[in-house]
Amino acid sequence: MTQDIHLVSFLTPVFNGGKYLAECIESIRGQEYQNWEYIIVNNRSTDSTLEIATQHAKSDSRIRVVNNSIFVGVIENHNSAFRMISAESRYCKVVSADDWITPDCIAKMVYFAESHPTAGIVGSYQRSGDTIRWKGIPQDVQLISGREICRRSLLEGVDVFGTPTSLLYRSELIRNRDPFFPHTYSHADTSACYEHPRDSLCRAGT
């Protein structure tokens, strides 16, 4: 497996996510891959979100909590978080406050990305209850061109882009486009994938 040589930026833009946030944070702190920074952007939450995030930041210097001065929309909060990743960041992964990732998740995704330098976006399966989601690519296919996956998505209804939590982005893609999510509609994350037709994959588990 890839050594922890590249900085991974984890992002959790959150509003009132206190119910699940601790589990989300702990899943990141429990990663086998340890070279990461974690930016939690609190969008003026009125529950325990800020308290939970701050407590974890006090015990782990890799965690940074940003508290918005004003409430902003969901997509704007995500784009604000993207702008905060370090210049040294090689990869970026959003983990929504009500999600969690397995201990080997980021190690597997970084390993794949390093093994396939043309892959701009790396995807994964995602478990939702008893359902495994984003299985649109045959298991014997690992790397697929961005052009081809966009074609299959639009013409065949193949859904592998999933949610931000199921994807790993190369940070250079984020730095090269501002805002990274190109509009404020609910499918802005999918639109960002269409705007980066490099190579994509759906393997590794969250």
CATH code at position 162: 3.90.550.10
**CB contact set of 76 (below 8 Å; sequence gap of 6+):** 184
Report if residue 1 sits inside a domain.
Answer: no
Report if residue 58 sits inside a domain.
Answer: yes
Report if residue 79 sits inside a domain.
Answer: yes
Report if residue 196 sits inside a domain.
Answer: yes
How many domains does one find in the chain? 1
Domain span at residue 22 reads 7-205
Distance separating alpha carbons of residues 122 and 109, to the nearest angstrom: 7
**Residue 18: its pLDDT value, please?**
98
CA angle 12, 17, 20 (to 5 degrees): 95
Report if residue 103 sits inside a domain.
Answer: yes
Report if residue 163 sits inside a domain.
Answer: yes
- Span 24-64, pLDDT tens digits: 999 999 999 999 999 999 999 999 999 999 999 999 999 99
Report if residue 2 sits inside a domain.
Answer: no
Decide if 178 contacts 83 (C-beta within 8 A): yes
Whole-prediction pTM value?
Answer: 0.87
- Span 61-87, pLDDT tens digits: 999 999 999 999 999 999 999 999 999
Burial degree of 156 (CB within 10 A; 0-12, 13-18, 19+)? exposed
- Span 135-193, pLDDT tens digits: 666 666 667 777 777 777 777 777 777 788 889 999 999 999 999 999 999 889 988 88
